Chain A
Amino acid sequence: MKVRKIVEKFTEGLLFTSSTVTTIAVLFIVFFLFKSGVGLFSESPVEEGYTLAVNANNPVGILKTNQIKAIFNGDITNWKEVGGKDQQIQLFTIDELSSAYTEDQLGANLENIPACVNDYVSKNDNVFAFFESRRFPAHFVGRKLQVPKITVWEFLTGRQWYPTSAPISSFGVLPLILGTLLVTLIAILFALPIGLITAIYMAEIASDRMRKMMKPVIELLAGIPSVVYGFFGLVVLVPAIQKVFNLPVGETALAGSIILAIMALPTIITISEDSIRSAPVALKEASLALGASHWQSLRLVVIPYAKSGILAAFILGIGRAIGETMAVLMVTGNAAVMPHSIFEPIRTIPATIAAELGEAPFGGTHFKALFALGIILFIITFIFNSLVELIKSRNNK
């Protein structure tokens, strides 16, 4: 008797501990995600530890990220285009420094760099200097340029994703968000009807033997690693899409959507089939007894009964698709452009995180930007989940 009580207490404690630990772990991960990601908005887009500077007589005050990038890309070559005087922009980086001054002038241990920087900037009034902040002399004759910090608005609406571009990186996630949503939406458009039809067939129409054969095959789909799906997509699906639609390139949003649809199918089928089968036999029999045909009772009684289960399947399918990384990384081409059609390459948020996190220096701007992407993904999923809860609670009333 006593032993049983102890065992019960122990089991209770075990259950309590494991659920608490799980909750704390989830909260901790969310906290970590937000803590790392939010830091992005106190960062400057200029490469860490570097400073941009101009000649003291240059009237240009603040340059935007895009303008600085255009200057270093060679798209803007005249100060006039960014509100300065009508003169050529003279870039001045460590490369120009080593060609403008001899090694003797720079000093054996490069100790004269600050003096040389001063000299060069004072002599050339069209200069645009980019150096490590420490390389600037204490009494700098030029003017250090202010670059505005990354703002939330800029981050969310920016259309350029060049996270490692020097001297200035741009973190515009709009193409990534739209790419993710587009791929997911199309995937669900494919997967939902097919999944639903299969679920209805298996639950109501298929013979027992047929069902016993199909069920394990469909469940097998869920067990295939996503890399395998990705490779299959790259080698089989991508060339096929290219040929069928006569496209210049096969790595498209469509390829990603089809792969995602296949991957989301097992979830959708299994859950909707279960909910359809869980409709009480009495309900169905009552409907048949009232003279409704098999189809009528299926359409008017069974499916409405299983509605919330089907909805759950739909949302879980979206969840599977939106966070899927590897397969999408391999077949969508990963070009960070604004998606215009499903026949163009796109880049998704999970693929970006997976591809770039490995080499983003820990704690740097790029690293924080990737975590900020994680926050966006988290929020999108959170909204979807809340929607389900909302619809479910309405249905239950």
Chain B
Amino acid sequence: MKKSLIAMGLVVSMMLPSVMSAQKVVCKIKGSDTCLPLSQKFAEVYGNKNAGSGISVVGGGSGVGLAALLSGTTDIAQSSRKMKIDEKLKIQETGKAVKEVIIAYDALSVIVNPSNPINKLTREQLESIFTGRVSNWKQVGGPDLKIIVYSRETSSGTYEFFKENVLKKKNFASNALLMAATGAIVQSVSQTKGAIGYVGLAYVDKDVKALQVSFDGGKNFVTPSVENAMSRKYPITRPLFYYYLTSRDAAFRPLINFILSSEGQKIVLAEGYVPLS
């Protein structure tokens, strides 16, 4: 009798975690537009699997999401950049702590028109092209053709990331064409001979050519691809983050675990992002 009770207790205690894991999560995710399609997919799949879950996903930009987290108007902030040191300081002042989770990676590809014979550029060359110091393809070993720089709008997190990491915080050329959407950059680059632009890996198609880039002064040129991004060989790779208050960890854990599981990471790959491993 006693034995069977213990056995039952064991069985129950073993079952408990699996029951717990199929938990409903109700939360609001806000922030980066880059993460938006991915988070929406997560919310959809997770919601279908766990009845009663209500995950709403809103864009607005990384900065907007993090500010909303600080002011308590969102539960999770999705961000395509790491939290800035002053944002961390602000959180510290309120006496709260923030948990950071990397949910996926995104590789930024530099694209040109397929008719352009240039196949690779160094970071220094990219900097001079995007800041307007170099204005003809001739100057970087290409044909005598005017360079047309396409960029995202100033509000974009991708704009900030590119400016910070490739341009080393210098400003884009004032004659750069600022496009409202990533799709518009692909469209324009595909129909403009001298064009150059930058888009997420998932957006690269046969109408544009992705360049190999070198961040070590021209020693190694790396092709943007999921494999190279996963092995961190490709230099313009950025992590995508979720931020939430440590005190809410227990409530959001099931969702985070799902995202980090192999099933969640399969979604990452299917949506055109780079999985964690």
Binding site for B on A (CB under 8 A): 49, 69, 72-74, 94, 98, 109-110, 132, 160-166, 234-235, 238-239, 242, 248-251, 329-330, 333-337, 345, 347, 354-356, 358-361
Determine the chain A residues whose CB is within 8 A of the CB of B184 once the complex forms.
234, 330
Verify if B145 is at the interface (C-beta below 8 Å from A): yes
Determine the chain A residues whose CB is within 8 A of the CB of B187 once the complex forms.
234-235
Report yes or no: A329 in contact with B155, Cβ–Cβ below 8 A. no
Instruction: State which of B146, B174, B194 has its C-beta within 8 Å of the C-beta of A336.
Output: B174
List 27 A-B residue pairs with CB atoms under 8 Å apart, sorted by A's residue number.
A69-B171, A72-B169, A94-B85, A98-B85, A110-B85, A160-B174, A161-B174, A162-B171, A162-B174, A163-B154, A164-B154, A248-B148, A249-B146, A249-B195, A334-B179, A334-B180, A335-B174, A335-B178, A347-B178, A356-B153, A358-B61, A358-B155, A359-B61, A359-B63, A360-B155, A361-B63, A361-B67
CB distance from A89 to the nearest CB of B (A): 14
Determine the chain B residues whose CB is within 8 A of the CB of A109 once the complex forms.
92
Smallest Cβ-Cβ distance to A238: which chain B residue = B191
CB distance from B188 to the nearest CB of A (A): 6
Smallest Cβ-Cβ distance to A162: which chain B residue = B171
Smallest Cβ-Cβ distance to B159: which chain A residue = A164
Report yes or no: B188 in contact with A74, Cβ–Cβ below 8 A. no
A164 to B157, CA, bound (A): 11
Smallest Cβ-Cβ distance to A69: which chain B residue = B171
Q: How large is the interface on B (under 10, 10 to 19, 20 to 34, 35 or more residues)?
A: 35 or more
Report yes or no: B192 in contact with A355, Cβ–Cβ below 8 A. no
CB distance from A128 to the nearest CB of B (A): 14
Smallest Cβ-Cβ distance to B187: which chain A residue = A234
Report yes or no: A249 in contact with B148, Cβ–Cβ below 8 A. yes
Per-residue CB contact flags for chain B residues 168-191 toward chain A (1 = under 8 Å, else 0) read 011100111111100010011001
A235 to B153, CA, bound (A): 20
CB distance from A132 to the nearest CB of B (A): 5
A110 to B91, CA, bound (A): 13
| Given A132-B86, A345-B175, A358-B155: A239 touches B61 (CB 8 Å cut-off) | no
Verify if B60 is at the interface (C-beta below 8 Å from A): yes
CB distance from B112 to the nearest CB of A (A): 13
A330 to B85, CA, bound (A): 36
Smallest Cβ-Cβ distance to B179: which chain A residue = A334
A336 to B173, CA, bound (A): 10
Instruction: State which of B85, B155, B174 has its C-beta within 8 Å of the C-beta of A356.
Output: B155
Instruction: With A242-B191, A361-B63 given, name 13 new contacts (CB 8 A).
Output: A110-B92, A162-B171, A163-B154, A166-B169, A250-B188, A251-B177, A330-B184, A333-B177, A336-B174, A354-B180, A355-B180, A356-B153, A358-B60
A165 to B176, CA, bound (A): 15
Smallest Cβ-Cβ distance to A74: which chain B residue = B170
Smallest Cβ-Cβ distance to B181: which chain A residue = A330
Report yes or no: B192 in contact with A248, Cβ–Cβ below 8 A. yes
Determine the chain B residues whose CB is within 8 A of the CB of A250 once the complex forms.
188, 191-192
Instruction: State which of A73, A235, A337 has its C-beta within 8 Å of the C-beta of B170.
Output: A73
Instruction: State which of A98, A355, A361 has its C-beta within 8 Å of the C-beta of B153.
Output: A355
Determine the chain A residues whose CB is within 8 A of the CB of B86 once the complex forms.
49, 94, 132
Verify if B193 is at the interface (C-beta below 8 Å from A): yes
Closest 10 CB pairs of A and B: A359-B155, A333-B177, A248-B146, A359-B61, A334-B178, A164-B154, A249-B148, A239-B191, A355-B153, A337-B175
Determine the chain A residues whose CB is within 8 A of the CB of B27 once the complex forms.
none
Instruction: State which of A110, A164, A239, A251 has its C-beta within 8 Å of the C-beta of B155.
Output: A164
Determine the chain B residues whose CB is within 8 A of the CB of A354 once the complex forms.
180
Determine the chain B residues whose CB is within 8 A of the CB of A165 once the complex forms.
171
CB distance from B111 to the nearest CB of A (A): 15
Report yes or no: A242 in contact with B170, Cβ–Cβ below 8 A. no
Determine the chain A residues whose CB is within 8 A of the CB of B140 once the complex forms.
none
Q: Which residues of B181-215 are within 8 A (CB) of A?
A: 184, 187-188, 191-195
Determine the chain A residues whose CB is within 8 A of the CB of B61 once the complex forms.
358-359
Determine the chain A residues whose CB is within 8 A of the CB of B155 once the complex forms.
164, 355-356, 358-360
CB distance from B87 to the nearest CB of A (A): 11
CB distance from B3 to the nearest CB of A (A): 52
A248 to B187, CA, bound (A): 15
| Given A329-B180, A330-B184, A360-B155: A337 touches B60 (CB 8 Å cut-off) | no
Smallest Cβ-Cβ distance to A249: which chain B residue = B148
Verify if B89 is at the interface (C-beta below 8 Å from A): yes
Smallest Cβ-Cβ distance to A132: which chain B residue = B86
A330 to B183, CA, bound (A): 11
Verify if B256 is at the interface (C-beta below 8 Å from A): no
Verify if B64 is at the interface (C-beta below 8 Å from A): yes
Determine the chain B residues whose CB is within 8 A of the CB of A234 once the complex forms.
184, 187-188
Report yes or no: B188 in contact with A251, Cβ–Cβ below 8 A. yes
Report yes or no: B192 in contact with A242, Cβ–Cβ below 8 A. yes
Determine the chain A residues whose CB is within 8 A of the CB of B176 once the complex forms.
335
Determine the chain A residues whose CB is within 8 A of the CB of B92 once the complex forms.
109-110
Smallest Cβ-Cβ distance to B145: which chain A residue = A248
Determine the chain A residues whose CB is within 8 A of the CB of B193 once the complex forms.
248
| Given A110-B89, A355-B155, A356-B153: A335 touches B175 (CB 8 Å cut-off) | yes
Smallest Cβ-Cβ distance to B152: which chain A residue = A355
Report yes or no: A330 in contact with B180, Cβ–Cβ below 8 A. yes
